[in-house]
A and B are shown apart, each in its own frame.
Chain A
């Protein structure tokens, strides 16, 4: 597995861990009735800030762990910078991720027409961003594995 592929796997794994923790946090807020209170906006705002902080920490921790494990197993050191092919693959991934986000974004607005609450729409938007970034990473990983 190349340096770039490993980075993508790290991003996907840390993203899944963070969103699992975030889901548990939001579940707790929901069960406490805080997402239906007048202060729901404040709770969601704080949850997003915590999500951003958690994502940064999780990515750093998972990257360090994977780098150490990889160095022990393969005895390789990372010397790769991204080149023109990596940039093209990034661009393709971003394009697909953007399309995925756009589709979900429109879906959320259609949901609002059919009675989805604004609070739930905001939460769905957060998940849409996460999901589209995962789609982007999966597409990049697929293209790398195909050899492009």
Chain B
């Protein structure tokens, strides 16, 4: 059985802007991934692991749901 996929959106770009225009490289270094991974997450091409998602939220000192929001497939 194939599970229907929802959409995972994020506010990383806005949060970076709000945090002194933090660069993708700086965020990548803060959470220990490559800049390309941050680019892919921002573009919603890659869904991060739960741990990485929490790490990103931690950098912005904001709850996880302010960084990522998931829309179920039937909405």
Contact = CB atoms under 8 A, between A and B. Distances in A.
A148 B34 contact: no
- Summarize A's interface: helix, strand, loop or mixed: helix
A3 B34 CA distance: 9
B43 A147 contact: yes
B40 A83 contact: no
B34 A86 contact: yes
A85 interface: yes
Given A2-B34, A2-B35, A83-B37, 9 more contacts: A3-B34, A4-B34, A80-B34, A85-B34, A85-B40, A85-B46, A86-B37, A146-B45, A147-B39
A84 interface: yes
A2 B33 contact: no
B33 A83 contact: yes
Interface string A83-97: 111100000000000
Nearest to B28: A83
Contacts of B33: 83-85
Interface of B: 32-37, 39-40, 43, 45-46, 48-49, 52
A144 interface: yes
27 contacts: A2-B34, A2-B35, A2-B36, A3-B34, A4-B34, A4-B36, A80-B34, A83-B32, A83-B33, A83-B37, A84-B33, A84-B37, A84-B48, A84-B49, A85-B33, A85-B34, A85-B37, A85-B46, A86-B34, A144-B36, A147-B39, A147-B40, A147-B43, A147-B45, A147-B46, A148-B40, A148-B46
Contacts of A148: 40, 45-46
A4 B33 CA distance: 12
Contacts of B37: 83-86
